[in-house]
Amino acid sequence: MIFHKAKGIWIDGRKSMSKTLPLREYLNPQYVYIPLLQQASPLKRVVEVGADVTIGQVVALREGFGAIPIHASVSGKVTAVKKVWHASGRMVDAIEIQNDFQNRMDDSIRPEADIPGLTSGQLIEKMRLAGLSGLGGAGFPTYVKYQAKCPFEVIIVNAVECEPYLTCDYMITMAYPEKLLKGLSYFMRAAGVKRGVVAFKNYNTHIREALEPLLPAYPGIEIFETKDIYPAGWEKYIVQQITGKNYVGLPGEAGAIVDNAASTIVFCDMVEKNIPLISRVITISGEGIKNPQNFFVPLGTPVKDLIALCGGYADGLDPAKAWYIAGGPMTGRAILIDELIVNDTLGALIVQPMPEERNHPACLGCGRCADVCPVYLSPTEIKRAAEAKDAAAVKELNTQKCMQCGLCSYVCPSHIEISDAVGKAKDLLKKGA
């Protein structure tokens, strides 16, 4: 066995907060900002300040491994290159585009003439040309997975959405269930497999009700309901549950490719209409937001616009004293202010009142972090080894198996950021120390 069968625990997802209102479109921000960073790769800008651009026009390039084009999400004028806050927690250069509100489309966006005749190679090339990346948070260029020389057996759509507060995948799945199945069928053709699986948590009965009537039209596609535990959405957990196989590096070792639900839905439009990756759904939620909800927006939209559309901050909350989390509270990143832009990896902004002063700054030795670890690690022992710069001990403690799900920090009564400490321990191993 490569790793023990993963375990998990139930946690309060607090998802009902952002499910009460329907998915809302916000397609016309005054400005969008296209960051010149994708994952950790800097991008090459290919438009000049003053240029007129159309929706879907290439404005930047990711070069080297995972090379993809990056597209304008609105039509208008390139007015500047500015520093903006990115979901990574850094300020990065971004192309500022002033929206002309005319929604002019690039000539490349047009209906596909021969969808049934598209080959595997052509479908994979559509992923690359569209700039498709993992919308679940990883941002990895999708076409690279499909180019791997593996004997694939199944394509798995991850609609589990484990993170508390996040409902963006749920909302887009409920809005476009047939696009989800179509997108999955195109992924299956691209990989040359006959089996596709949509995985979601068993309490999301509305997803089952939306998909089941459509399944007879999509041979080979089935649904799979996971338990309502965290981290059931972990890639290795899903692959293990569906295939019965474990792996060390990538799901391809188990004959699987795993794609996010939102990535699968947008791939349908990429195949049928040649629409590149220019938009996504984002959850704005948390006790610090007056009316939490989900928005379908162009990439580069300022999050501050969306907070305003939610009715602003909760009554009595000073924005200067709010706690902002880019992504989910388990694996996201704390940021300082609401001056953030929506990029391909940003599925949510969670706003909370600033946490009260912590009463137990030292480890209590309770062992709760080890009790909940999905891969049976001893997080506090790893933390101590890393602090001592004891690389041999870090390795012996199987630190490389950590999936950084955040559970250890979540359950810690002393509020110690154990997950960050274990992440630093993994960095110690990577450096070969």
**259 assigned to some structural domain:** yes
256: which strand partners? 154
The per-residue pLDDT for 357 is: 55
**385 assigned to some structural domain:** yes
User: Distances from the Cα of 321 to the Cαs of 14, 308, 317, in angstroms?
Assistant: 22, 17, 7
Q: Is the pLDDT of residue 1 over 50?
A: no
pLDDT tens for 127-163 read 999 999 999 888 899 999 999 988 999 999 999 998 8
More confident site: 428 or 125: 125
Q: Is the pLDDT of residue 252 over 50?
A: yes
**151 assigned to some structural domain:** yes
Band (241; pLDDT cuts 50, 70, 90):
very high
The per-residue pLDDT for 393 is: 81
The per-residue pLDDT for 249 is: 85
What CATH number is associated with residue 181?
A: 3.40.50.11540
The per-residue pLDDT for 88 is: 84
Q: Is the pLDDT of residue 115 over 50?
A: yes
User: Distances from the Cα of 245 to the Cαs of 152, 217, 326, 332, 387, in angstroms?
Assistant: 13, 29, 33, 28, 35
Q: Is the pLDDT of residue 273 over 50?
A: yes
**9 assigned to some structural domain:** no
Q: Is the pLDDT of residue 9 over 60?
A: yes
**361 assigned to some structural domain:** no
Band (355; pLDDT cuts 50, 70, 90):
low
What's the average model confidence in pLDDT over 369-374? 77
Rounded to two decimals, the pTM is 0.88
In this structure, are 131 and 249 located in the same domain? Answer: yes
In this structure, are 267 and 382 located in the same domain? Answer: no
Burial classification of residue 348, based on how many CB atoms lie within 10 Å of its CB (0-12 exposed, 13-18 middle, 19 or more buried): buried
Q: Is the pLDDT of residue 424 over 90?
A: no
Q: Is the pLDDT of residue 233 over 80?
A: no
In this structure, are 131 and 263 located in the same domain? Answer: yes
In this structure, are 124 and 258 located in the same domain? Answer: yes
In this structure, are 130 and 248 located in the same domain? Answer: yes
In this structure, are 126 and 262 located in the same domain? Answer: yes
In degrees, to the nearest 5, what angle opens at C-alpha 188 toward C-alphas 186 and 190?
Answer: 70
Domain region containing 216: 120-273
pLDDT tens for 53-90 read 999 999 999 999 999 999 999 999 999 999 999 988 88
**108 assigned to some structural domain:** no
In this structure, are 264 and 157 located in the same domain? Answer: yes
In this structure, are 249 and 388 located in the same domain? Answer: no
Counting the structural domains of the chain, the total is: 2
More confident site: 411 or 48: 48
What's the average model confidence in pLDDT over 205-215? 97
In this structure, are 239 and 124 located in the same domain? Answer: yes
C-alpha 10/C-alpha 32 separation (Å) is: 38
| Percentage of the residues of the chain whose pLDDT score is greater than 90 | 65
Nearest residue to 341 via CA among 80, 124, 96: 96
Q: Is the pLDDT of residue 330 over 70?
A: yes
- Using an 8 Å Cβ cutoff, are 280 and 300 in contact? no
Band (2; pLDDT cuts 50, 70, 90):
very low
C-alpha 93/C-alpha 81 separation (Å) is: 6
Q: Where a domain ends, among 217, 249, 273?
A: 273
Which own/partner pairs from 126-131 qualify as long-range (CB within 8 Å, at least 24 positions apart)?
126/267, 126/270, 126/271, 126/274, 127/190, 127/267, 127/270, 128/67, 128/68, 129/69, 129/276, 130/267, 130/270, 130/274, 130/275, 130/276, 130/277, 131/68, 131/69, 131/70, 131/71, 131/276, 131/277
**1 assigned to some structural domain:** no
**307 assigned to some structural domain:** no
Q: Where a domain ends, among 240, 273, 306?
A: 273
Band (429; pLDDT cuts 50, 70, 90):
confident
In this structure, are 398 and 268 located in the same domain? Answer: no
Q: Is the pLDDT of residue 167 over 70?
A: yes
In this structure, are 124 and 267 located in the same domain? Answer: yes
In this structure, are 262 and 406 located in the same domain? Answer: no
